[in-house]
Homo-oligomer: A and B are copies of this chain.
Amino acid sequence: MPNENLYPLHQNLLKVCNAIQPLSDALQKAIVAQTKVIQVKRKTRLLNAGETSDAIYFIISGAARVYYLDKEGVETTSWFLFENEFLISVYSFFTGEPSFEYLETIEDCTLIMLNRGTLNELYLQYLEFNVIGRKLTEYYYIRNEKQANDLRMLTAKQRYQALFTSNPKLINRVSLGYIASYLGISQETLSRIRKQI
């Protein structure tokens, strides 16, 4: 595992990618060279609605969420991301259209930042990297699909229990209001559900 020593900050990112498909040394080097490690405080907005997303972030440490505003201006959280996950406004990043979502940290974070132009160059220059992109998209697709299915099929209480079961640590790191909007319910309802359990 030479990576661990060569690129200490990028170690987990490379590990995640290598687990999908082994990367050539040249590609690993390119990834490290073309990305930037940044530190941001909690509640930092990394993308605003209306802006076009220009970057994807890998979370080394910390937590973040993706949210948007409904017609009445009420926040709805659509995603929580933690260590070793990618923070991205999929729609805006992939289409190049202005985002309807906000990206915001919910804890102090250390992030690896990769911008879109660079990613596309990597896709062109290292065709094997498309495999990684495809597989990651597949993986997140499946997560998203499960979410939609749960929203259709489960009651509020069942959705909370499913989330709690699949991701117990989340409950302690994320405020109730955010979780409620993620589950598609009001925070009062979630508070009452919690008391019952």
Contact = CB atoms under 8 A, between A and B. Distances in A.
The main secondary structure of chain A at its interface with chain B is: helix
Nearest to A127: B127
B137 A130 contact: no
Interface of A: 68, 70, 76, 78, 90-91, 94-95, 123, 127-128, 130-131, 133-134, 137-138, 140-142, 144-145, 147-149, 151-153, 181-184
Identical chains in the assembly: 2
A90 B130 contact: no
Contact of A182 (B70, B90, B130, B152): B152
Contacts of A94: 138, 141-142
Contact of A76 (B128, B140, B141, B149): B149
A185 to B, nearest CB: 9
A65 to B, nearest CB: 13
Contacts of A91: 142, 145
Contact of A144 (B123, B144, B182): B144
Contact of A148 (B78, B153, B181): B78
B142 A148 contact: no
A95 B137 contact: no
